[in-house]
Structure 1
């Protein structure tokens, strides 16, 4: 699991450390953020002390209205050994009692100049991305007309060569050979390349090539949402392949079912063009246009009309 410490927030969001600088190496173990409102009244029975704490305008206004003794008590109880840090939004002034408690307990007290909702949103998105479920898959990820297509298949089936042809046709490479995948939402998978092989493509007989150097910065992407999976497999004469496109196959990656198509590989098939068309057809389906269903509907209508006409001839 990714390890996040409070100091990482400073580097990412350029926040100001007001107090508790000795605690910047505290580990953040969850993406949830707490706004201690009821705790400021003195109720700490269910205080989520392991979460990052955020004080907005409402919480700080109430806190400043307390007596000096109560402010010191609330601050001391908020600053536990497990608390990764306290964030104050809107660049508000920090009460002396809060700063002293953070210094004493080594709890980082951080200030942001932005509005509370923006701070919560950015911190939450950052932490959820870091703590998202993670896996790695053997394959190639390419951005084709805005569709993140994960090309899978056995080693040597032609995935990298197909990706090279797609890049030559103007599409963008995200990852080759190994694709790191994070589930950033219940239905959102983000694929990226390991840093070691980023922008690199392996072509058997040719070796390693740098796609960005050869084709320019517009030929690569750092990450992309995975929307479609295309599995390449050697042509099997005994196997029946879908010829209409009515069968909807899916592939489960972490907790997400991703639409999938299987393409048989044999000499003479231009896989790059087929995958390109598959991506465009996938976009059409997302827009409500399904050629296979339209054909099936036409065929059904024609059969019904033929049956009705045949019945009329018999009646005569």
Structure 2
């Protein structure tokens, strides 16, 4: 009987130890699971914060880039607007100065370099007004006293005048219109189905042609014949895309491939003659004439 009690005691002890071991294992497992779950939640939160941070930064960078592009575009537009407004303001100021009974017809655009400014002087007479356009490094009011100096001759863009003559015959003489197909000369193909006529004399070579009511001619030396022909073709090509004023009855154009101050455009409205002179670049003379409004 005593032996049996001992056995029972051992068995009871073993049962108690087994139960404690199971509880300990479950507690460890529960703690482990809770720690893992908590760590996973922490890691997920960090990932979300990182992702949100990257998204916010990306959106911020994109916003900055877009704003920079808009600012750059605005700056470019501002530069162009300033250039256009400068010329428009000068032309508007000139119109106010022209207290005349003659028709007021002015160019809307003159070829000036980027960063430079347009200004002018005006002179009004009984049957004539004259405008001298200048290109300056700084803004200068029209008719400013600084523009009266002879040293500013090199800054002249163009000289424009409108003159009323006493008769149509006198105005016709100033224009000097010619039908070059009747004058004759060596035929030259100028492009766009236009035929020019070359004529040489006294060391000068002329390439002449007609477009509507206009008589046009380029000048060069006989030693450089290619310059006159090339300029004639450039003029024909330019006028294919740009429209000259409609003369009544006629107009004449001289473009010089050698002398930079011999370019001029003239046209008439009955006995009133419009003239553009002193333009250094021959094609610029055409650009000014085709911008008349």
TM-score by length of 2: 0.18
Larger radius of gyration: 2
TM-score by length of 1: 0.17
Greater helix fraction, Structure 1 or Structure 2: 2
